[in-house]
Amino acid sequence: RMARFSGIKILTYCLMDNHFHLLIRVPSRVKFNAKFEAYESQGRPDERPTQTKQQGEERLIDHLRTLYSKAYISQLRAELAHMRANGMERYADEQLTKYKERFCNLEKFVKELKERYSRWYNKTHGRRGALWMGRYKSVLVESTNKPAEHETGEDFTALHAIAAYIDLNPVRAGVVSDPKDYRWCGYAAALAGSKRCRYGLCELMRVAQTSWLKNAHRYRLWLIEDAAVTNENAKSQLENERAREGKISPAELLRHKIKYFTDGVAIGGKAFINNQFRTHRKKFGKKRKQGAKPITSAGQPAESPSKLYSLRRFSS
């Protein structure tokens, strides 16, 4: 409900016993709020129809129903009517603007989500006080970088890497051996029939939202390691390691909790990361020359095996 209210799309998620991960797409607030504003059509074929200020306001109030009760909406309507009846049009507009400022806003979305869950949890379990420790961390993920080739032959982007990292959380934690068996992640929920989760994962794969059944195996291949890696005997594993010169495949890289995905500022291709570095140059040390650092593991060469790069908050 919070995601729908905020205009934010959850692509996948994972709820663990003491933390959670969300992969979300945050649309442009200007574009999202445009449907609640007055608009005069110029008659172009691809243009949306004319909308009056009152019609836009009605759409906004109708949208608020995704989060608020009928009683709340009725009270809001009464307050707006009272303001306008007493010549306080500006105050009525400001009241509605406060809602629109919460849309497509990552910080406000996470804050409200945690607050609402905390209130519910405390009431349910008869407790008081804060539920969450520390502030949330966010990482900017490039969704259009040129994909690297996955070991399955599929294209593998930064977006796929983060999605797999999230859905593999319970596997890394030793809770389950297969993500399909962990009901509190997006992948398992999609298998169980959740339409929203299926739509999110289909968007990740850049396929039609209704084609989950045809493409579910593709996402699973991104999640599960090659059977040869996990089931071969030690000798065969050694031969494979030699054959690939010890390089770590993207799937194997995701089996370990790498700090790039939680403590980074951004994940993506080299050009994307360096562009983010230039945009936020003042936030980094003067001696730093470039932002993109390849995602590698101990003992690996400088060139990223997955062709993914990170803009990191910490020294490498």
Distance CA 210, CA 195 (A): 9
Contact between residue 16 and residue 191 where contact means Cβ atoms under 8 Å apart: no
309: three-class secondary structure by DSSP = strand
- The reported pLDDT for the residue numbered 143 is 74
CA-to-CA dists, residue 89 to 35, 83, 94, 102, angstroms? 20, 6, 9, 21
DSSP assignment of 289-303: ----EE---TT--SS
Closest by Cα among 189, 191, 186 to 204: 186
Tokens (6 digits) for 302 = 């400088």
- The reported pLDDT for the residue numbered 224 is 66
- The reported pLDDT for the residue numbered 154 is 45
Contact between residue 312 and residue 264 where contact means Cβ atoms under 8 Å apart: yes
Distance CA 122, CA 119 (A): 5
Tokens (6 digits) for 68 = 């608020």
Domain extent listing, the chain: 140-312
Closest by Cα among 31, 25, 30, 21 to 9: 25
Closest by Cα among 76, 65, 90 to 5: 65
- The reported pLDDT for the residue numbered 153 is 42
Paired with 2 in beta bridges are: none
Distance CA 160, CA 142 (A): 10
Task: Give the contacts of 177 (CB within 8 A, at least 6 positions apart).
Answer: 171
State the angle between helix axes of 212-223 and 158-167 in degrees (0 to 180), rounded to the nearest 10.
Answer: 80
Q: Strands 140-141 and 9-15: what pairing?
A: unpaired
pTM of the model: 0.69
Distance CA 243, CA 236 (A): 10
E-assigned strands of the chain?
Answer: 9-15, 20-25, 140-141, 148-149, 155-156, 264-268, 293-294, 309-312
| Average pLDDT for runs of 10 along the chain of length 316 | 94 92 93 86 70 90 95 95 92 94 94 91 90 83 58 59 86 82 90 90 88 85 52 41 47 50 68 80 74 58 56 53
Q: Which amino acid is at 196?
A: R
The CB density around residue 125, as the number of other CB atoms within 10 Å, is: 8
